[in-house]
């Protein structure tokens, strides 16, 4: 459990689940300040496969990811 002085991780989502995405997904676990919340791809089955492979809670199409209020764009 995180202490109250430790900030909560930032939830992020990736659009694009091609062959390079595994490098990004795999390295996110090395950063406590990041929570890999979702991934998305035009080919939703590819997003679902990567979500299962890397334990990502949500797999979307790009429009769904952009509409999810839990993922903030800056």
Residue 37's CATH number: 3.40.50.720
Range of the domain at 27: 10-67
H/E segment holding residue 7: none
13 to 4, 5, 33, 41: CA distances (angstroms): 25, 25, 14, 11
The pLDDT tens digits for 18-63 are: 989 988 898 888 888 888 999 999 999 999 999 999 999 999 999 9
Residue 32 in any domain: the answer is yes
Nearest of 67, 19, 72 to residue 43 by alpha carbon:
19
What is the pTM for the complete model shown? Answer: 0.81
Residue 51 in any domain: the answer is yes
The total of structural domains in the chain comes to: 1
């Amino acid at each position: 459990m995180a202490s109250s002085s430790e900030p909560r991780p930032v939830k992020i989502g990736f659009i694009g689940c091609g062959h390079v995405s595994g490098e990004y997904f795999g390295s996110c676990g090395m950063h406590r300040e990041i929570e890999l919340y979702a991934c998305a791809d035009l080919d939703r089955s590819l997003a679902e496969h990567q979500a299962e492979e890397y334990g990502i809670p949500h797999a979307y199409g790009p429009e769904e990811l952009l509409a999810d209020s839990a993922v903030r764009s800056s």
